[in-house]
A and B are shown apart, each in its own frame.
Chain A
Amino acid sequence: MELTLKEVQHVAVLARLRLTPEEEKQFTEQLGRILQYMEKLGQLDTSQVEPFDHAATSANAFRDDIVSNTPNPAAILANAPAKEQTFFRVPKIIE
């Protein structure tokens, strides 16, 4: 599958990446090659194969509804670049 420059720019916006025009061109090429390689899978006949959406073969890993954590907001906030009281502080959110 050919990837367009526009698609790469769109994905970059979604991922909050700022790319130079050179990088955009480079990634369009590289990502396109990866997708082309993956397209080989499309040649297989999978009409008789169940869709696969998880690598694990088991199911139902549950926990019981029990409060087990000892609150420690100081530790949680320790790595925050900015805080105010026990809030995380971030650049002003508009809208």
Chain B
Amino acid sequence: MKYESVIGLEVHAQLLTQSKIFCGCSTQFGQAPNYNTCAVCIGFPGVLPVLNKKVVEFAIRAGLATHCEITRSSRLARKNYFYPDLPKGYQISQYELPICANGYVDIDLDGTSKRVRLTRIHMEEDAGKNIHDGHGDSSLVDFNRAGVPLLEIVSEPDMRNPAEAGIYLRTLRAILQYLDICDGNMEQGSFRCDANISIRPQGTDALGTKVEIKNLNSFKAIEKALEYETARQMDTLSEGGKLIQETRLWDENKEQTRAMRSKESAHDYRYFPDPDLLPVVIDEKWIDEIHTSLPELPGTRRSRFLSQYALPLYDAELLTSRRDIADYFETAVTIYPNAKAISNWIMGELFRILKERKLDQQLYIKTWPVRAEYLAELVQLIDQDKISGKIAKMVFDALVDAERSPQTIVKEKGLEQVSDVARIETSIDQILAAYPKQIADYRGGNEKIFGFLVGQVMKSMQGKANPQKVNEILKAKLSCTIST
């Protein structure tokens, strides 16, 4: 029997607020343990949480960008369970009446669009962090993260294989990054994912027994875990076994999932509306204000890049995957409209430097190693035959952190391309005179020699000769020599 997997994802996105969701503590990452804590987020008796308005605004932004209905009057609720990283014995979250519901995200599967429906987006507080290992009979608890605002974004089980799940996550992450509400850093845990997966015979509609997978800390882990789990479930069924609904942990080292010891009461959270927090009422005016402030989103921008700049899908996708890169590209193209050439330089040389300097870990790069206007000018110099492609790479490297334009650098270093026929001829004549044996070989039919000769000419002219001209003149001269 052929099976397909049915995958739904739950994403926890940490919001880029300055302060926590219910108190004035900082959300800064990497502080000393329990430095960013107070009576409210530690859950001392008698304290009153007050909702951070920015969290509501960010939730509405996310909801509008993913075509959700915004709930006009939503509630915060208590989710009750005991765990040492949860200081109050309950997490403030949303249950009934989440702030956003019934949205969707369109994902691109090699040029065809697929719609992944969103069940809901709700606001909640993060828990603290436990350290289990290396402290004997104890675990240590750090509450810096407790009370940091999260959006939980729940999809419908609309994905049919691990690759689709990966694309959905990348798409969703890009949207949140464009909206400037989440930095999407999976390593630091500001973009986390749990997956629900079941399998069923292809062509059937009923849902199988679903398994929840936790501890997925990278895109690679997510795709691998889902592949492993699909195979495991298929094996179990084909061997006549039965699947049970359970939570499994992904083990990065062993590359397999394992069952968590489940307590039967684990999912009995006894949600109820939090009496400490007032309803959140959102009017039309607020929604309109946020709507008009939304940036152009990655999907729309990608389509526009395809039509406006006639870029290949690959380029459009890569350039629009980050708002800063897309902005950089458009700045350069406005100055000099050779879109494809500029795109090539960005995807090649610029990306290399961003990686080297780890600048790609920033959410939005403000200071570029090479200014967009300089890159535009560089491409223009190549197009005008003022420098060769090879020299252009040198100029590009010289542009890094430079306050001088490509033209200035070319002039200063005397890198202008030589297209002057007389100068090229002189150089070619010298080379022809220096390599009589190779020329005889060439005459004898060894065409590879041609490339060697071009190389020698370029070398003698320090790479500055116009390669096209060198090719033409050399060919003409060699055929002359043959005929005489």
A interface residues with partner B (beta carbon < 8 Å): 10, 13-14, 16, 53-56, 58-69, 71-73, 76-77, 82, 84-93, 95
Contacts and interface: CB of A to CB of B under 8 A. Distances in A.
7 contacts: A10-B268, A54-B279, A61-B277, A69-B23, A69-B38, A84-B140, A86-B34
Contact of B26 (A10, A59, A67): A67
B361 interface: no
B279 A64 contact: no
Which has the most chain B C-beta neighbours within 10 Å: A16, A66, A87? Answer: A87
Contacts of B23: 69
Given A54-B275, A59-B281, A76-B42, A91 B35 contact: no
Nearest to A16: B82
B278 A60 contact: yes
Contact of A54 (B24, B25, B37, B278): B278
B189 to A, nearest CB: 18
Nearest to A82: B138
B402 interface: no
Interface in B9-66: 17-19, 23-26, 31-39, 42, 50-56
B335 interface: no
A59 B280 contact: yes
Given A10-B265, A69-B26, A95-B260, A62 B275 contact: no
A14 B142 CA distance: 24
B2 interface: no
Nearest to A65: B54
Interface residues of B, number: 54
B95 to A, nearest CB: 11
A13 B479 CA distance: 95
Contacts of B36: 71
B73 interface: yes
Nearest to A57: B278
Given A53-B279, A71-B31, A93-B130, 12 more contacts: A54-B278, A59-B279, A62-B50, A64-B53, A66-B24, A67-B24, A69-B23, A71-B26, A73-B34, A76-B37, A84-B140, A88-B84
Nearest to A72: B38
Contacts of B277: 61
A92 B138 contact: yes
Contacts of B260: 95
A66 B19 contact: yes
